[in-house]
């Protein structure tokens, strides 16, 4: 009954090559959060800690324990990458600064991109490993695989014709959202594939698929090769944020985080 209250399912074939898939969801958990305690739900890391932001404050919690990081000098975080749970990346676009936190949310390193040579103006960033990040550089309008320890751009894409809307990535690949496309890139700056989309405002990456959230509160699933599209889910009941991790879908509505097991089956 609760599942029906949260979601209305709509299954259909999208106009993509390949075999469509059904999405099956199973509610497996929910955590109650004090209403409006946070503004943004970031997601859940591989150790099942939840991350939120509110104004300048980043919070990590499992419901009983809580860690907090706040930096009023840099302003509100633009994004928080939790891909590596031992080294979090907080990006502040307003001040063009990267801040790295350890697992207790202690600041371990800060990089002011305004002071490096050549300077970079970042629009989107995602953490990876080995002192490297994915970074969209507005100066060149390209995606860089950047080693911040050595201040060395290891690779970069050719300049984009349009400005990206969103970025999601893992350790080896990045997915860039444009207004009419999602494109996949490897760490060498090579474009692997693209797929045509409409009205998607945010993308998220899990092990086997990309999830796009449309302006109509619809979640659309693509495989990581961007060749096969699946059915979609229309979200209901004033949800605020979503995240995917380890084949689970997390929905935050301001007072609860619902966890659903994701299963895709071929038709």
Q: How far apart are CA 165 and CA 181, in angstroms?
A: 10
Query: 57 versus 130: which is more confidently predicted?
Result: 57
pLDDT of residue 247: 87
Q: Which tens digit of pLDDT belongs to each residue from 96-128?
A: 999 999 999 999 999 999 999 999 999 999 999
Averaged pLDDT for residues 208-235: 82
Phi, psi of 5 (to 5 degrees): -70, -30
Q: Are 99 and 87 in contact (CB under 8 A)?
A: no
Cα dihedral 111, 116, 119, 120, rounded to 10, equals: -20
Q: Does the pLDDT of residue 17 top 90, yes or no?
A: no
pLDDT of residue 52: 97
Residues of the chain with pLDDT > 90: what percent?
Answer: 70
Residue position matching structure tokens 């209403």 = 35
Q: Give DSSP secondary structure letters for 169-226.
A: E-SSEEEEE-SSEEEEEETTS-EEEEEE-SSEEEEEE-SSEEEEEETTSEEEEEETTS
Averaged pLDDT for residues 212-230: 83
Tell me which residue of 81, 78, 82, 88 sits closest to 56, measured CA to CA: 78
Residues of the chain with pLDDT > 70: what percent?
Answer: 88
pLDDT of residue 11: 34
Q: How far apart are CA 80 and CA 27, in angstroms?
A: 26
In whole numbers, what is the pLDDT of the chain averaged over residues?
A: 88
| Sign of the dihedral through C-alpha 165, 248, 224, 219 | negative
pLDDT of residue 207: 82
Bridge partners of residue 242, in order along the sequence: 251
Provide the whole-model pTM.
0.89
């Amino acid at each position: 009954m609760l599942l029906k209250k949260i979601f209305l399912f709509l299954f259909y074939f999208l106009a993509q090559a390949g075999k469509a898939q059904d999405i099956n969801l199973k509610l497996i958990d929910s955590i109650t959060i004090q209403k409006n305690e946070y503004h943004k739900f970031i997601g859940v890391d591989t150790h099942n800690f939840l991350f939120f932001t509110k104004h300048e404050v980043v919070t990590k919690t499992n419901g009983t324990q809580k860690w907090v990081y706040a930096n009023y000098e840099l302003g509100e975080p633009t994004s928080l990458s939790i891909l590596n749970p031992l080294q979090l990346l907080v990006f502040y676009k307003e001040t063009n600064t990267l801040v790295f936190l350890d697992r207790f949310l202690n600041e371990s390193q800060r990089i002011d991109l305004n002071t490096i040579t050549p300077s970079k103006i970042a629009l989107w960033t995602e953490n990876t490993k080995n002192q490297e990040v994915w970074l969209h550089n507005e100066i060149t309008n390209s995606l860089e695989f950047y080693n911040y320890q050595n201040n060395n751009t290891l690779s970069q894409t050719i300049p984009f014709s349009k400005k990206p809307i969103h970025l999601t990535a893992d350790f080896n690949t990045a997915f860039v959202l444009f207004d009419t496309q999602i494109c996949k890139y490897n760490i060498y700056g090579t474009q692997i594939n693209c797929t045509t989309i409409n009205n998607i405002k945010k993308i998220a990456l899990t092990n086997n698929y990309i999830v796009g959230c449309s302006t109509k509160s619809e979640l659309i699933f693509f495989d990581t090769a961007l060749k096969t599209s699946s059915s979609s889910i229309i979200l209901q009941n004033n949800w605020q944020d979503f995240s995917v991790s380890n084949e689970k879908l997390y929905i935050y509505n301001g007072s609860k985080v619902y966890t659903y097991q994701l299963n895709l089956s071929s038709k």
